[in-house]
Chains A and B, each alone.
Chain A
């Protein structure tokens, strides 16, 4: 086109494909959200606008139970994994490279590299024996499993934050006779806090989203929201599934917006 300036970064068709990709990415989600307000039970056709299924899901004990269980597990896993990840990040950054550092790094990121189904099977095998041996059937197994696979998600943002912090302030604190613990609590920790909060949020979302590992580790009657939904879907997809999905989607968007607000570099 003669009237448009020649731009080196423009490649023919790329903008069109990108536009199409964004439409395809959001259209299904949008349709799902719209259909969650459908008054009919079946998702086959749209019968009218209603909040009926949100109210129904809210009144369904199994949904409420699963929601509370999901939130409990996610909260515990987020706190545990973030504490451990913060310590590990402090141990592996801003110091002279030491022997075994690569090993620690690989170990921490290991849950990102192994397919979920493999971890799930391995945990099923281990916990099946432990359940028989100890007789304990509680939520502990799920919390343990979730805490472990959430570690890399908490670790990466904390490490990124630490690497952007220089040591001068801590050195200054030490020069002013602050004890190492005091310097950590009054200087390092406040500076690191946005990274820790960001890591905890990612860990929380990751735990909340998990289907496969939960499915293999859970004992009878320990459905989380995603495994409850999968069970429902297996029978029939109903408007209730869409309503729950929409709520979860909203929660994810809120948490992600917070995450971006926390990690955005101040200019």
Chain B
């Protein structure tokens, strides 16, 4: 490589950095940088009226799992906090699983349409995806509330004599999250199935495999990157959900997102809120790491 060519490469890299710099700066100020400040705040003392006192303290982190009795100072596991954490993880996993169970056939259906129809079905999945989450949550609220459509139908055909109380429960949050996050599962699954070579199915059937066996042994392993991507895309926002549990779960069925908000409102415990946010972030990063690993494994074994 001549010196001149090396200079040219260096200049190109510099230009690449310079062009990206303004975007990076904005993200550093209003996205990544604040995360570091949040980490610092988790180690401070809560202020009396919100905000913090600039004194080092472990209390924020201690408070995520334990509570100290105000009278005798004994330390106990904070059951309420654990319940909220467990509910968040459980609901996020249930949502991920169920969106996959119904999302996979949907993606398969779209991918096996003729091109023109496929574009139309895809568009129909995309509209809810870009529709305001709040609106979609209100829409599902309308359907499952006591005077809503489901209860009207149930009462109308005489299946029940009293309406079902579905709102303000874990079940309502699960239904709502499945509804709002389903497109996030269908889109990556579609992308994976779209690349799938249908001739492999013919080969499978020629070798006397049953439909179930073809699905399990041929289709699912090959579209795995899409499954992993869809699961991550649903799990991450479901775990950190705020709007859906707030509207459908009511005050009692909080998820971690609502619990964090509480610390910055009535709770007036910013360090605890910051520590909980860091925990949420760490869980999400761990999930992303699993995703990157799985995606890399997928490409190396097939490529």
Q: Which residues of A contact B (CB under 8 A)?
A: 8-15, 17-22, 24-29, 31-32, 35, 43-45, 80, 84-85, 87-88, 90-92, 95-96, 98-101, 104, 107-108, 110-111, 113-119, 121-126, 128, 144-145, 147-149, 151, 155, 205, 208-209, 211-212, 216, 226, 229-230, 233, 237, 241-242, 245, 248-249, 252-253, 255-256, 260
**A216 touching B132, Cβ below 8 Å:** no
Given contacts A111-B31, A114-B284, contact A226 B132 (CB under 8 A): yes
B261 at the interface (CB under 8 A from A): yes
The interface residues of chain B lying within 8 Å CB-to-CB of A43 are 142
Across-interface contacts of A205 in B (CB, < 8 A): 130
Question: 1/0 contact trace for B19-48 toward A, CB 8 Å?
Answer: 110111011111111110110010000000
Binding site for A on B (CB under 8 A): 9, 12-13, 15-20, 22-24, 26-35, 37-38, 41, 51, 102-103, 105-106, 108-110, 112, 121, 123-128, 130-136, 138-143, 147, 149, 179, 182, 198, 201-202, 205, 211, 215, 236-237, 239-240, 242-243, 246-247, 257, 260-261, 264, 270, 273-274, 277, 280-281, 284-285, 288
A-B pairs, 9 with minimum CB distance: A115-B240, A91-B19, A18-B109, A98-B13, A122-B34, A148-B30, A28-B139, A14-B105, A17-B105
Residues of chain B contacted by A216 (CB below 8 angstroms): 261, 264
Residues in chain B near residue A114, CB distance under 8 A: 31, 35, 281, 284
Q: Are B13 and A99 in contact, CB atoms less than 8 angstroms apart?
A: yes
| Assembly CA distance A14 to B149 (angstroms) | 26
Query: Which residue of chain B has the shortest Cβ distance to A90 in the bound complex?
Result: B19
Q: Are B23 and A151 in contact (CB under 8 A)?
A: yes
Q: A115-B284, A211-B242 are in contact. List 18 more A-B contacts (CB 8 A).
A: A14-B105, A17-B105, A25-B125, A29-B135, A88-B19, A91-B17, A91-B20, A92-B20, A98-B16, A116-B240, A122-B35, A123-B34, A125-B41, A125-B274, A126-B37, A144-B26, A209-B132, A249-B131
CA distance A32 to B139 in the complex (A): 6
CB pair B132 A8 closer than 8 Å: no
With both chains docked as a complex, state the minimum distance between the C-beta of A69 and any C-beta of chain B, in angstroms: 16
In the complex formed, the residue of B with least CB distance to A10 is B112
The one of A22, A90, A242 that contacts B138, using a Cβ cutoff of 8 Å: A242
- Are B139's CB and A115's CB within 8 A? no
Distance (Å) between the CB of A215 and the closest chain B CB? 8
The interface residues of chain A, by DSSP majority, are classed as helix
Task: Please determine whether B26 and A84 come into contact, CB atoms closer than 8 angstroms.
Answer: yes
Given the known interface contacts A98-B12, A125-B270, the answer about A256 and B126 at a Cβ–Cβ threshold of 8 Å is: yes
Taking the nearest CB of chain B, how far is it from the CB of A167, in angstroms?
Answer: 13
CB atoms of B281 and A115 under 8 A apart: yes
Can you pick out 21 interface pairs between chain A and chain B where the beta carbons lie within 8 Å of each other? A10-B112, A14-B109, A18-B110, A24-B179, A28-B139, A29-B135, A44-B147, A95-B15, A104-B24, A108-B24, A113-B236, A114-B31, A118-B281, A121-B264, A123-B34, A125-B274, A148-B30, A211-B243, A212-B242, A245-B138, A249-B132
Instruction: Name B15's contact: one of A80, A91, A99 (CB within 8 Å).
Output: A91
Q: Which residues of B contact A208 (CB under 8 A)?
A: 132
Complex Cα distance A114/B142, Å? 30
Q: Bound complex: CA of A237 vs CA of B143, how far in Å?
A: 13
- Residues in A with CB closer than 8 Å to B132 are 208-209, 211, 226, 245, 248-249, 252
Chain A residues with Cβ below 8 Å from B285 are 113
Q: Could you say which residues of chain B place their CB within 8 Å of the CB of A107?
A: 24, 27-28, 32
Residues on A with beta carbons closer than 8 Å to the beta carbon of B134: 209, 211, 226, 229-230, 233, 245
Contact B239 A87 (CB under 8 A): no
Min CB gap A120→B, angstroms: 8
A148 near B236 with CB under 8 A, answer: no
Asked if residues A87 and B34 are in contact (CB atoms below 8 Å), the reply is no
Give which listed residue, B124, B141, B237, B264, contacts A237 with CB less than 8 A: B141
* B23 engages A84 (CB within 8 Å): yes
Q: Are A22 and B124 in contact (CB under 8 A)?
A: yes
Question: How far is A87 from B26 in the complex, measured between Cα atoms in Å?
Answer: 13
Contact A91 B277 (CB under 8 A): no
